[in-house]
Chains A and B, each alone.
Chain A
Amino acid sequence: MWSDGAEMLLTSVVIVLREVLEASLLVSILSALSGVLGISRRWTGWALLFGLAGAVGYSFSVASISDWFDGVGQEVVSAMMQLLIFLLLLMFAFLATRAPGSRRLSEKLIVLVMAVMVAVAVTREGFEILVYMYAFSAELPRFMTTLAGSVMGACIGISIGVLIYYFVSALSPRLSLIVGLGLLALVAAGMLSQAVLLLIQADWLPSQLPLWDSSGWLSESSVTGQLLYALIGYEATPTALQASFYFGGLLLFLIVAVFAVRPREEVS
């Protein structure tokens, strides 16, 4: 009986940690960069609130959304959210690196881009946690175990976010912009590759045999694998399409960031 409960607790810790980590990473890097860019961090509160409302709304309508597009609505909507986050991250890279020259003009836009990004990410991740919690709401003892595990998972995820926030904030402004954008580049590439995977699952994109299989070296089900999945979008068996979008997205993000920086350096 005890081991059953312990296992259930661990399962919920891992499930919730994985979901929270993705959103918490995005929030912590963006708020740290807000500080670097001299933008007030007040937007995070609103973005989280909108995200939570979005998660509740999405979890109530997911049953009907699932039936869209011949039963693959969930994949398509989720992939669109990730594509949106990817595009907003590109916009952010462009605006953040340009900011010092034309700050007044773009500050409101940067805040909007960051807030929408975080709200969408929290909607996506929060939805999965809510659905997971609902699944056990009928049985009180199981629900309490799940709740305890979820709170632990959420706390670990938020703590990692806080650590990253202080790490990025502690660097010199220029270095923290570089490190922050570097981390965001990995997040962006992961978002794009996940969106591609979802569209493959929905049969909207062609499916292929995996390009490689690194599951023997690092399994996706291991704790390290799960953490790397959240941080850099690690996949043990990606297809060629997924891998090319991952590296293409990474490259595109870096090109946008570097090109946006260049004119400023020429002026100064």
Chain B
Amino acid sequence: MLFRAERLLLQITLVFVCSVVSITTHAEKPVIEIEIRDHLFWPSEVRVPANTKVKLLVYNRDSTSEEFESYELNREKVIMGNRKAVIFIGPLLPGVYPFFGEFNPDTAQGTVIVE
């Protein structure tokens, strides 16, 4: 029982240390720009490298506010009209991660493809 707990603790510490290291070594994060126009994301599909932290720059060109939201990416951020927002995502495993505009979920949809 103790062995199990110790191993879990060790795993947590390792993950923690690895991510601290990966953060300090990858000071230059790739930047990806997305625009919101007429409640649509442009581009609606972005490709990012796996296991890398990426800086998303989302420009809201509409006059109304929008909320960038993704359950898969665990991200949520309000972007006021005619403003930009910075959202850091990753490191991520390869896969497809949908995101959407919470205020206009029927039109504002996009995906992050990690490869």
Contact = CB atoms under 8 A, between A and B. Distances in A.
Interface of A: 4, 7-8, 11, 15, 62-63, 66, 70-72, 74-75, 128, 131-132, 134-136, 138, 197, 200-203, 206-211, 215, 219-221, 235-237, 240-241, 244
Given A134-B65, A206-B19, A4 B106 contact: yes
A74 B77 contact: yes
A190 to B, nearest CB: 14
Contacts of B61: none
Contact of B86 (A71, A210, A221): A71
B90 A207 contact: yes
Given A63-B83, A240-B15, A203 B64 contact: no
Contacts of A15: 102
What is the interface of chain B mostly: helix, strand, loop, or mixed? mixed
A239 to B, nearest CB: 8
Interface residues of B, number: 38
Interface string B65-77: 1110001101101
B32 interface: no
Nearest to B12: A240
A236 B88 contact: no
B106 A131 contact: no
B92 interface: yes
Contacts of A197: 74
Contacts of B103: 132, 135-136
Contact of B93 (A62, A209, A220): A209
Interface string B19-59: 11011000000000000000000000000000001010000
